[in-house]
């Protein structure tokens, strides 16, 4: 095998003259070739060529019992191997016959070794070059055949030279039918380069990306071009879908109510994916309460196409795809009854997709899309996308409903507050005036009557306070608590508070002491509100301090602020309750404590203090007492003097 | 003692108040809204107007404005603003009267305010209302 591998080539010698054959064999061996066999007849030549697979056949034209040219033709039919003819007769007729077999060489006897070597080497070289070329061609063809992109080679005269299977699939035309035809007949492009569309043989559009390379002009062969076409329909569809989703989302964000939402979505769908769109929203009774209709601008439907009436009933709220869509199935999909088939006729289309608009508690409505124009289709992915859009719409509808319910609740609360604030006060004023008048005229009469009247007056007073508290809470909650701030004297405020609470303290058997700073201080505040805040805190202190106890109000002046401290020797507040006391509806959970208040007092107090730019907190030791700290800003008008007299010691 | 005009759309409240004030010796007339109130003032100028805020046809501030622009001495009649409206102090400030009471009020406080209005006779100065009415 090593000997074979080292040879310049394996040669089959065909010559019927034994001496010539042996001479050839020897000369070939000396030149570095190996002779696989030496045969003398045409038949033997054909059989050996097939069995021994030589790389070259050296063939005498004149053979006994046969013709070398015919034998060569037979060998060639079976295998493409180089054949070199040997002859002593070079007449024109023989040469012409031999040429027809396309031999790879021709040697006239007698010949020199040198001649033999050159002819054999050329024949083998040429054959090997051809084999390499064929392999390359095969590789090239395989690559071309298996490419996902359509590759079309166009000759300089504009005819198609090659057309790979991807091109055939893209256009819907076999390679054999395309090659040789003018390219412009086969490849029908439309649109601008960035939105290039190729119509296939049936006229359906495909979104295409096209690149083009010129074919090199090579030794007189005219150039031409190679087109590479990529079907980007899927990518462009995905892009279109994303953009539709974005536009629907924007429309959903912009619409304020349910009717606006379904109108906006119908308009978006009709302008992009379908020719007409109907979206129905079901009311409480299951009938269509709101409906929206839109049709594509480019699409000129029958003039009867328009909004369907409300009050229709959908008997099926499942997904339906009708192709073609006409007659009673369409009427049913649109929620029309059998008698309304005439109405439905206007909507008959190539295809109608009807989808439920899902909500968390079941379908909220129905969305139907119709396709009329040829070339528009709803693929499986499109249905999935529309389902997603229906879900988005459902979510937005539920949010809008929730918003409406919340707005209604707020409105109803405002209505209640208006009634409380105004309408309740008038009858209460009548009661109060009547009671006061009765009490004045009953003075000195039956003491039990006068006691009952006093109790009623107290109840009316409590009602008045509750109304005022409710109003304050409402204005604090809505952020509309307003203040009539003026320059006020701290001494004046403290004095007023002392005077107004002294009777209550005395009544409860408590010591009530107010200590004012030596120098008065000017505060910029709403005096009535600050007195109200202090009054709430002092009122609590008086209420929760047992008789014999002590309630104090003191003030500490610091640069820029004043701290008012209300301290008592009362029952105190437990640590777990302390963080909650400024919340709404907090009630002292003290056993036996009278639940006289609304639980709004401290909430209002904090609202006032914070509204005036201050802060409030409490410190308490259960069983020992509580201290409330109210810090109010005091941007002193005469800052220099204050700073001098109140400098930290 | 004094000629009083109550302007309030609450019938019970205004008739009870009229009775109580008459018992104290005052002469009392009652109007149901601001327009009736202006008509009563035209007939005979009262010493004090007891004025509600929220009323049909013409509300309290509207009547105060009517008195102010008539410029026949009616702008000098003291007004006691009686109302359940929130922000009553601010409303009184807009009308420019120092006399106002939030409903419901103890009778003694009303007598007190009324007494002040009758003795001090501070007229409202409804410039703020006028500013607001100007375009």
pLDDT tops 50 at residue A234: yes
pLDDT tops 90 at residue A401: no
Mutation to test the B interface, candidates A426, A484, A486, most B Cβ within 10 Å: A426
| Minimum distance, in Å, between the CA of residue B71 and any CA atom of chain A | 30
pLDDT of residue A13: 92
Chain B residues whose CB is inside 8 A of the A473 CB are none
Q: Across the interface, do A429 and B20 touch by the CB < 8 Å criterion?
A: no
Tokens 């439905």, located at residue? A344
pLDDT of residue B75: 83
pLDDT tops 80 at residue A117: yes
Chain A residues whose CB is inside 8 A of the B16 CB are 430, 433-434, 437
Chain B residues whose CB is inside 8 A of the A432 CB are 104-107
Sign of CA dihedral A310, A312, A313, A319: negative
Chain B residues whose CB is inside 8 A of the A429 CB are 10, 13, 82, 84, 103-105
Q: Across the interface, do B85 and A421 touch by the CB < 8 Å criterion?
A: yes
Q: How far is CA A226 from CA A166, A172, A205, A214, in A?
A: 14, 19, 22, 6
Chain A residues whose CB is inside 8 A of the B93 CB are 484
- How far apart CA A52 and CA A85 sit, in angstroms, is 19
Contacts of B59 (CB under 8 A, 6+ apart): B33, B34, B53
pLDDT of residue A377: 64
pLDDT tops 50 at residue A649: no
Maximum Cα interatomic distance, chain A, rounded to a whole number of Å: 172
Comparing A385-389, A405-409, A498-502, the range with the smallest average pLDDT is A405-409
pLDDT tops 60 at residue B111: yes
Other CB atoms within 10 A of residue A54 CB: 22
Chain A residues whose CB is inside 8 A of the B83 CB are 422
Comparing A416-420, A506-510, B74-78, the range with the smallest average pLDDT is A416-420
Burial letters B88-99, b for 16+ CB under 10 A, else e: beebbebbbbbb
Chain B residues whose CB is inside 8 A of the A427 CB are 10, 12-13
Quick one: closest CA in A to B15, which residue? A430
Tell me what the pLDDT averaged over chain A comes to.
84
| Minimum distance, in Å, between the CA of residue A457 and any CA atom of chain B | 9
Cα torsion at A252, A257, A262, A268 (round to 10°)? Answer: -40
- DSSP H or E stretch at residue A9: none
Comparing A563-567, A584-588, A615-619, B37-41, the range with the smallest average pLDDT is A584-588
| Minimum distance, in Å, between the CA of residue B30 and any CA atom of chain A | 15
- How far apart CA A392 and CA A375 sit, in angstroms, is 28
Q: Across the interface, do B17 and A433 touch by the CB < 8 Å criterion?
A: yes
- Closest partner residue to A429 among B19, B90, B103, by Cβ? B103
Question: 3-state SS of chain B?
Answer: CCEEEEECCCHHHHHHHHHHHHHCCCEEEEECCHHHHHHHHHHCCCCEEEECCCCCCCCHHHHHHHHHHHCCCHHHCCEEEEECCCCHHHHHHHHCCCEEEECCCCHHHHHHHHHHHHHHCCCCCCHHHHHHHCC
The full DSSP string for A606-641 is HHHHHHTT-EEEEEEETTTEEEEEEEEE---TTHHH
Quick one: closest CA in B to A472, which residue? B86
Q: Measuring CA to CA, which residue among A322, A283, A391, A297 is closest to residue A334?
A: A322
pLDDT tops 70 at residue A643: no
Mutation to test the B interface, candidates A427, A433, A532, most B Cβ within 10 Å: A433
pLDDT of residue A379: 65
Q: Confidence class of residue A478 from pLDDT cuts 50, 70 and 90?
A: confident
- 3-state SS assignment for residue A581: coil
Chain B residues whose CB is inside 8 A of the A424 CB are 84
| Minimum distance, in Å, between the CA of residue B42 and any CA atom of chain A | 27
pTM tops 0.80 = no
| Minimum distance, in Å, between the CA of residue B58 and any CA atom of chain A | 17
pLDDT of residue A3: 46
Mean pLDDT score, A527-545 = 90
| Minimum distance, in Å, between the CA of residue B43 and any CA atom of chain A | 28
Q: Across the interface, do A429 and B105 touch by the CB < 8 Å criterion?
A: yes
Q: Confidence class of residue A606 from pLDDT cuts 50, 70 and 90?
A: very high
Q: Confidence class of residue A6 from pLDDT cuts 50, 70 and 90?
A: low
Percentage of chain B beyond pLDDT 90 is 48
Q: Across the interface, do B104 and A464 touch by the CB < 8 Å criterion?
A: yes
pLDDT of residue B93: 84
pLDDT of residue A301: 64
Q: Across the interface, do B104 and A428 touch by the CB < 8 Å criterion?
A: yes
Chain A residues whose CB is inside 8 A of the B87 CB are 482
pLDDT tens per residue across span A412-444:
777 777 777 677 888 888 998 898 888 888 766
pLDDT of residue A560: 86
pLDDT of residue A645: 43
pLDDT of residue A610: 92
Q: Confidence class of residue A605 from pLDDT cuts 50, 70 and 90?
A: very high
Q: Confidence class of residue A597 from pLDDT cuts 50, 70 and 90?
A: low
């Amino acid at each position: 095998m090593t000997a074979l591998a080292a040879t310049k080539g394996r040669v089959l010698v065909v010559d019927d003259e034994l001496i010539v054959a042996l001479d050839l064999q020897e000369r070939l061996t000396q030149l570095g070739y190996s002779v696989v066999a030496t045969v003398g007849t045409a038949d033997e030549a054909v059989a050996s060529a097939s069995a021994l697979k030589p790389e070259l056949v050296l063939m005498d034209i004149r053979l006994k019992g046969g013709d070398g040219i015919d034998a060569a033709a037979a060998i060639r039919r079976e295998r493409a191997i180089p054949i070199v003819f040997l002859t002593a007769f070079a007449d024109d007729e023989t040469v012409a016959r031999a040429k027809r077999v396309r031999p790879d060489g021709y040697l006239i006897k007698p010949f020199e070794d040198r001649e033999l070597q050159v002819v054999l080497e050329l024949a083998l070289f040429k054959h090997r070059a051809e084999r390499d070329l064929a392999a390359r061609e095969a590789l090239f063809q395989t690559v071309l055949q298996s490419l996902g992109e359509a590759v079309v080679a166009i000759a300089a005269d504009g005819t198609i030279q090659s057309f790979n299977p991807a091109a055939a699939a893209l256009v819907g035309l076999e390679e054999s039918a395309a090659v040789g035809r003018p390219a412009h007949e086969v490849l029908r492009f439309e649109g601008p380069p960035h939105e290039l569309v190729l119509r296939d043989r049936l006229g359906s559009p495909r979104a295409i990306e096209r690149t083009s390379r010129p074919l090199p002009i090579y030794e007189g062969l005219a150039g031409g071009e190679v087109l590479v076409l990529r079907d980007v329909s899927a990518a462009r569809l995905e892009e279109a879908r994303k953009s539709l989703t974005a536009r629907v989302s924007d429309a959903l964000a912009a619409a304020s109510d349910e009717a606006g939402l379904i109108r906006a979505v119908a308009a978006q769908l009709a302008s992009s994916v379908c020719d007409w769109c109907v979206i129905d929203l079901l009311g409480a009774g299951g009938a269509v309460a709101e409906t929206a209709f839109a049709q594509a601008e480019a699409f000129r439907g029958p003039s009867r196409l328009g909004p369907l009436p409300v009050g229709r009933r959908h008997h099926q709220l499942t997904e339906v795809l009708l192709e073609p869509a006409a007659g009673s199935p369409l009427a049913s999909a649109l929620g029309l009854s059998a008698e309304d088939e005439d109405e439905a006729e206007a909507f008959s289309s190539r295809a109608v997709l009807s989808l439920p608009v899902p909500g968390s508690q079941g379908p909220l409505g129905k969305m139907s899309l119709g396709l009329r124009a040829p070339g528009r289709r709803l693929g499986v992915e499109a249905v999935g996308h529309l389902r997603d859009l229906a879900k988005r719409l459902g979510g937005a509808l539920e949010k809008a409903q929730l918003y409406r319910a919340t707005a209604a609740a707020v409105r109803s609360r405002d209505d209640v507050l208006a009634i409380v604030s105004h309408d309740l006060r008038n009858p209460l004023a009548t009661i109060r005036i009547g009671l006061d008048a009765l009490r004045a005229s009953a003075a000195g009469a039956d003491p039990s009557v006068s006691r009952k009247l006093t109790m009623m007056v107290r109840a009316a007073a409590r009602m008045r306070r509750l109304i005022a508290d409710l109003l304050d809470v409402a204005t604090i909650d809505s952020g509309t608590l307003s203040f009539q701030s003026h320059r006020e004297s701290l001494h004046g405020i403290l004095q007023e508070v002392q005077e107004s609470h002294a009777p209550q303290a005395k009544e409860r058997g408590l010591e009530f002491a107010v200590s004012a700073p030596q120098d008065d201080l000017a505060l910029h505040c709403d005096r009535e509100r600050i007195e109200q805040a202090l009054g709430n805190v002092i009122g609590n202190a008086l209420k929760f301090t047992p008789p014999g106890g002590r309630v104090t109000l003191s003030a500490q002046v610091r640069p820029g602020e004043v701290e008012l401290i209300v301290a008592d020797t009362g029952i105190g507040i437990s640590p777990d309750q302390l963080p909650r006391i400024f919340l709404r509806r907090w009630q002292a959970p003290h056993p036996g404590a009278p639940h006289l208040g609304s639980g709004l007092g401290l909430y209002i107090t904090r609202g006032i203090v914070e509204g005036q730019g201050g802060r409030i907190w409490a410190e308490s030791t259960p069983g020992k007492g509580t201290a409330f700290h109210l810090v109010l800003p005091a941007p002193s008008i005469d800052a220099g003097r204050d700073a001098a007299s109140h400098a930290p010691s | 003692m004094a000629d009083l005009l109550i302007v309030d759309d609450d019938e019970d409240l205004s008739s009870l108040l009229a009775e109580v004030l008459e018992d104290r010796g005052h002469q009392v007339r009652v109007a149901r809204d601001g327009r009736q109130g202006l008509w009563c003032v035209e007939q005979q100028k009262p010493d004090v107007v007891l004025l509600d805020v929220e009323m049909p046809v013409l509300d309290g501030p509207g009547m105060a404005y009517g008195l102010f622009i008539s410029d026949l001495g009616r702008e000098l009649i003291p007004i006691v603003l009686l109302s359940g409206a929130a922000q009553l102090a601010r409303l009184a400030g807009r009308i420019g009267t120092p006399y106002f009471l939030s409903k419901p009020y103890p009778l003694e406080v009303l007598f007190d305010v009324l007494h002040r209005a009758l003795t001090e006779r501070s007229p409202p100065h409804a410039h703020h209302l006028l500013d607001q009415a100007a375009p």
